[in-house]
Amino acid sequence: MTETVLSPIAEAQLQAEVLAKALPHMQRYDDTIIVVKYGGHAMGDEDLARHFARDIVLLEQAGVNPVVVHGGGPQIGAMLEKLGIKSEFAAGLRVTDKATVEIVEMVLAGSINKQIVGFINEAGGKAIGLCGKDGNMVRARKATRTLVDPGSKIEQVVDLGFVGEPDTVDTMVLDQILGRDLVPVLAPVAAAVDGGTYNVNADTFAGAIAGALGAKRLLMLTDVPGVLDKNKQLIPRLTIAEAHALIADGTISGGMIPKVETCIYALEKGVEGVVILDGKVPHAVLVELLTDHGAGTLITR
Ligand SMILES: Nc1ncnc2c1ncn2[C@@H]1O[C@H](COP(=O)(O)OP(=O)(O)O)[C@@H](O)[C@H]1O
Ligand SMILES: CC(=O)N[C@@H](CCC(=O)OP(=O)(O)O)C(=O)O
C-alpha cells in the first residue's frame, strides 16, 4: 500500500477540517461521564491497546470524563490453563472456585489493570487503577443461575461459586477522581458483603457503574461490529423494545444476550445511550463519539 505524503499546509488543512467536524460532537459530551467497557477480546495486540489509550486520553483532554471498565476473560483462561486449573462456563459465566477466584483477581486487578493504566499514562494521561473492592465501590452478592436441560426440560440451579452480581455501588471514590484530569480504570472484582472476593462479569460491572454514575454513554467494546441481524448485517440503532424482540426470536444469542441485557439495565437506570461496537477497529471510541455516522449499534430507550 502506498502512503500519500501531504505537504505541511495540506496536512494542517486536513487536521482543521477533521477538528471542525469533531468539535460539535465534543461539545455534546463536554463534562459528561462516558463509561467504556473494554472487553478481553477487544484488547487484541499492543498497537490496538495503544490506540485505545490515546483515544481515552484525547477524550479526557477534550473535557469528557471517561471511566474504563475492563474485562479479561481470554487472559484469565490462558493463565488458568498455564497453571493446569480447569475452567468452565455456565450461562455465560465462569464457574469460579476458590483457586480460580485468586487467579481472576490476580489477572484482572493485577496484570491487565496495570497494563491498561500503563498504556493510558504512556499516552499522556494519568490513570488510576482500581477494582470494585477499593473504597467498597462495588459490593456483590452471590449469583445463581437456573439452567433448563434441553431434553428433559428439568430445571437445575447451578452453583457458580465465587461469582457475584453487583448489589450496591458506592461512587464516593469515583466522585473524588472524576473532573480532576484522572482516568479511573476499573477491574470487575467486587467485595462480598462478608469480606470475601467475587468475580463479576465485566459487562454487568460496567452497566452497574454506568447506572450509578448516571453516565451519558456506555460504550461496550467487543469483537463484532455491533448487534447483527439474521443476515449478519449491522443494526445501527435499536430501542429497548426492539432489542427484547431480537432476543425473543433468537437473532441475539450467546454472549450477546447478557451484553444487551446489561445495556437495557443501564438505560433503565438513566444512561442516555448505550453502544455495542467493535473494539478491534482502530480508534473505535473516537469514531463512535466524534463522527455523524458513529460506529456499532446504538441502543436507546
Ligand atoms: N445478533 C448478534 N449480533 C452480534 N453478535 C452476536 C449476536 N448473537 C450472538 N452473538 C455473539 O456474541 C458474541 C459477543 O459476546 P461475547 O463473546 O460475550 O463478547 P465479549 O467477550 O466482548 O464480552 C459475538 O462474538 C457473537 O458470537
Ligand atoms: C463471572 C465471569 O464470567 N467473569 C469474567 C470476568 C472477566 C470478563 O467478563 O471479561 P470479558 O469482558 O473479556 O469477557 C471471567 O471470569 O471471565
pLDDT digits (tens, 9 = 90+) for 123-140: 999 999 999 999 999 999
Q: What pLDDT score does 72 carry?
A: 97
Class of domain 30-293: alpha beta
Measured from the Cα of 77, ligand 2's closest atom is 17
This model of the complex carries an ipTM of 0.96
255 Cβ closer than 6 Å to some ligand 1 atom: yes
In which band, very low, low, confident or very high, does the pLDDT at 255 lie, cut at 50, 70 and 90?
A: confident
Question: Cell digits for 87?
Answer: 475452567
Cα of 64 vs centre of ligand 1, distance in Å, is 28
- 245 has a pLDDT exceeding 80: yes
251 Cβ closer than 6 Å to some ligand 1 atom: yes
In which band, very low, low, confident or very high, does the pLDDT at 9 lie, cut at 50, 70 and 90?
A: confident
Distance CA 171, CA 208 (A): 11
In which band, very low, low, confident or very high, does the pLDDT at 300 lie, cut at 50, 70 and 90?
A: very high
Q: What pLDDT score does 150 carry?
A: 77
* pLDDT tens readout for residues 92-128: 899 999 999 999 999 999 999 999 999 999 999 999 9
Annotated binding-site residue? 94: yes
State the CB neighbour count (10 A cutoff) for residue 48.
17
Measured from the Cα of 228, ligand 1's closest atom is 3
- 52 has a pLDDT exceeding 80: yes
Mind giving me the DSSP string for the chain? Answer: -PPPPPPHHHHHHHHHHHHHHHHHHHHHTTT-EEEEEE-TTTT-SHHHHHHHHHHHHHHHHTT-EEEEEE--HHHHHHHHHHTT----EETTEE-B-HHHHHHHHIIIIIIIHHHHHHHHHHTT--EEEEETTGGG-EEEEEEEEEEE-TTT--EEEEEEEEEEEEEEE--HHHHHHTTTT-EEEEESEEEETTS-EEE--HHHHHHHHHHHHT-SEEEEEESSSS-B-TTS-B--EEEHHHHHHHHHTTSS-TTHHHHHHHHHHHHHTT-SEEEEEETTSTTHHHHHHHSSS-SSEEEE-
Q: Where are the domains of the chain?
A: 30-293
Distance CA 77, CA 87 (A): 7
231 Cβ closer than 6 Å to some ligand 1 atom: no
243 Cβ closer than 6 Å to some ligand 1 atom: no
Relative to the alpha carbon of 230, which ligand is closest? 1
Measured from the Cα of 222, ligand 1's closest atom is 22
Q: What pLDDT score does 115 carry?
A: 97
Annotated binding-site residue? 72: yes
Q: What is the pTM of this model?
A: 0.93
